[in-house]
Structure 1
Amino acid sequence: MRFSFRSLSFRLLLLTVFFVMLAEVLIYTPSVARFRQVYLTEKLDSAHLAAMAVNVAPDRMVSEEITYELLDHVNAWSIEVVRDGVSMEMLKRPLHPEPQVRYNLDTASVVTLIVNAFDALFQTRNRVLQISGIAPKDPMAVVVVTLDEYPLRRAMYDYSWRILNLSIFISVITAALMFVSLRWLMVRPLERLTRSLIAFRRSPEDRASDLIDLGRRDEIGVALREMAAMKEGMRGALRQRTRLAALGTAVNKISHDLRNMLSTATLISDRLAMSQDPEVQRITPTLVKAIDRAAALCSTTLNFTRETPPLRLESATLAKLLRDVEAGLPASELGALRIHVVDGGALTVRVDRDQMFRALANLIGNAAGAGAGRVTVTAVHRNRQVIVDVADDGPGIPQEGLGKLFQPFQYSTRKDGTGLGLTIARDIIQAHGGRLTLDRTGPDGTVFRIELPEAGR
């Protein structure tokens, strides 16, 4: 996989550099404040030593030449040492400027030191500073120094430049190490997973793209094993789907031909029903029912093998749909079952009425076939959905049938059922953007839940 500026590797590289530089900035902030404090403390120390030369001079007086040399050594305008509030030693130039800013190093907090440091960095003019603090080597003496800010700022610039170069060097080294480590541990395995998935999408049956499990115990290893299991499951499903497609084509043709044969048998059975022979009259109803069941089986199988046609959506109330189902189901299939709409009958949904008739008819027909005498329908509008509960008072679904409800040909509530009713109903409701689920079942009945988008969607 070629390197790209949009790749995960490049993004990790940028993020590593960014976070290292951010860490360096956070470190630099107190560091530059500390550098300034140390610089000024050293000036106080040098000023104290220069003032001590005055203390040891005869009559505590030094020449003007020595005074300038001592002040030049400290790079100051004036030096003063105070003991017990009394100025003891003092050096100053004849024409020294008045200080513009005064700082006391002994009372400055950390925040104050940081603010003062950045204030010095961003100044554009030279200011005269008066710095005071306890002498580093004489706690009884307070040293006051007046000096220019420009040399301090230059020293801070030099220090900042060194920190910047060091930060860039550390960032590059750290980013390179992080990049190599992450690419080895994460990016390259993810690239292999991606290539494997792309190859699998192009040719699911080709096992050349399968990755070897190296036994990694981290998330990458788990993802690798789960992907391998997913591939095997999908390959099995694809093989089964291919076989079912071939079987469906064959069943479709057989059902079509068989239904034509059954139509002929139905015509003959109708003629037999008009016979006056008592024996023929006795066996004819049984023959007619058997032919009807065979024809219904063929029709149901054909409906299942067909793709769901494009939906012709229109608005309809739930009560109207249920009335159509109650009126459309044959009395022999509905039996003594009655449909009651408790709540939400006036709710409007956008559905294909013919397809939704099939779905509701399958649900209610299954309830009747299971021995239910009453179906109660309630509907509510919730979270931009219309939720419909179809509850019957039948004996419930046995435990062994729960895992096979929506699998074709696997389970039916009727002895002569095909096991396609719930599968067809689920497919129709899914085509409407909804969902059909089993809400609950037990000795007091079964409740199926239909979730459909609201009419406005």
Structure 2
Amino acid sequence: MDRLRMRTTLLIPLLILSFGCTLLSLLVIRTIVQQQTRTDLASDLQHSVKTYQNLQRQQRELLARESALLADLPSLKSLMTTYDPITIEDGGIEFWQVSGCDFFALLDQNGRLIVSYNRGAALDHSGVAHGLEMERYKPGEPILLSLDDRIYEISTQPLYFGLKEHGTLLGFVAVGYPIDEHVAREVSEAAAAQVAFSVDGRVVVSTLSPVLQQELVARGGDLLEMPTQNKKIQLGKMDYLAASERLTTSARQESAMEIPQLVVLKSFEEATQLVNRVNRWVLALALVALVVGSGMLVSISRTLTRPIETLVEGTRALAQGNFDYQLNEDGAAEIRELSRAFERMRIQLRRTQHDLLDAERLATIGRMASSISHDLRHYLSAMYANAEFMSGVNISQPEREELMLEVQAAVQGMTDLLDSLLLFTQTGRALHPEFESIALMIQRAVSMVRSHPAGRDVKITLIGLSSLEAWIDAKKLGRAVYNLLLNACQAAKRGQGPPTVTLTLIENERSIQIRIVDSGPGVPAAVRQKIFLPFVSESRESGTGLGLTLAQQIAQEHGGGIELEETAEGDTVFTINLLRASLLALGAAVEKKTSPTYIPVHEKG
């Protein structure tokens, strides 16, 4: 098959794969059965909740009308105007009997419970008072309340003396009906499943037998306490698929401690038997498909996968710059053609890369030559002119000495220029750190700047110099400070006011900062993003443009960096950040090499 076209190579495995349709069909049937069982349960749960809601809607309307009628009774309002709990408790029983409700309560104008009445065993007074706290509910809003293992649906209405808009609030009246076995049976018949109402893990009302109800409490777990979907549970000898949902009438009730839950349990014995039969068929056919698929995968890997993997490896090698990786022309015809096209591309890319490198070298040399030519001419012109003046016979000795100093300054400038170029070519080489004084290194750099023509007439102020010492390459780091100070002086002279430069040494537990501020016009936004690139010399007609580049690279070699802060007009800030941890690592490396126990290992031969 190695010499066949890809279309033919794929056709044979596809014919074999067609036999897998039977297995796929059975898998679909098995999945549909399982999903249908869960879908039916979810539908039953929603149906149960809707049935419960439909049954309770009528009672809520009745409760709302009943509570509204009671709230409008003048006699009840008259009773509440006494503000005497004993009087209200004695007189309230008559209104409860007239209302015909299973639950009746009166609250004062602050929402505190005065008295409550209910059918059956008397409810705990403190529990009722806590459940009816008015700050948890709005008046007239139906609420579900769990009281002594009983669930009540309650409606409250305010009592006003006079009109509601302008009257005086006298208190509240609350009436309610229980959710009992009658409601549970109606919901169970509508959902064709067993149902239970629970509160805080306790089953309050259920259609289950007492024995199964006890097992539900023992094995239910989260099913009785929080919303749960598709939980398998065994009660007696029968398996159920159970789900539960909270019964809340408002968002406020979500924060209540004990929220009633509706639990639906549906037997899935028939569905389990069908799923078991499907599982046996699927398992048998899966074994057959495994054997067939294994042979098919071996064939595919030999004809398609291996040549493609080889091609991918060649692509990765090319991405990493390896232009010598050879591809094997194996596989289908399309793969072989792709390999040959890739080989032609590789050869062309290698030729293009060589051409680009040659062009880049020439361009770099041209930019560097153009960049340094002006400074070299300046220094050579100064040396030539001063040498002519010195050759004059009428020149006095002091004048000769002054001319000699200017010649020395020009020589020093050329030396600095060559040092910058040399440092630029040597960046990335090992440092030579020593335990040096930061302040002394800064003072040497400042002294060099003050002797430079660009530093004349510029006020340089030093702040925060101390006896701080650290492991640094004083020569390189001093060069970085010198370059930043020199640039700052040149920028300060372009400012509108008196040229000033301020250098501040700042130290803390994590870092050492050398902050340089000048009074220049600031750095233009167009230059700010590329100011640390080589041969970028802002506001100068010519120059090396290496000062900031070298400073940044030297700071990075010390484990730090240089930041250009946001500039305002007349204020430019460069900050050298040196991490103490990086400086300590430099010192540790030096001490390790100089330790008496340190024995360097050399290869023999």
Q: Could you tell me the TM-score, scaled by structure 1's length?
A: 0.46
Q: Could you tell me the TM-score, scaled by structure 2's length?
A: 0.36
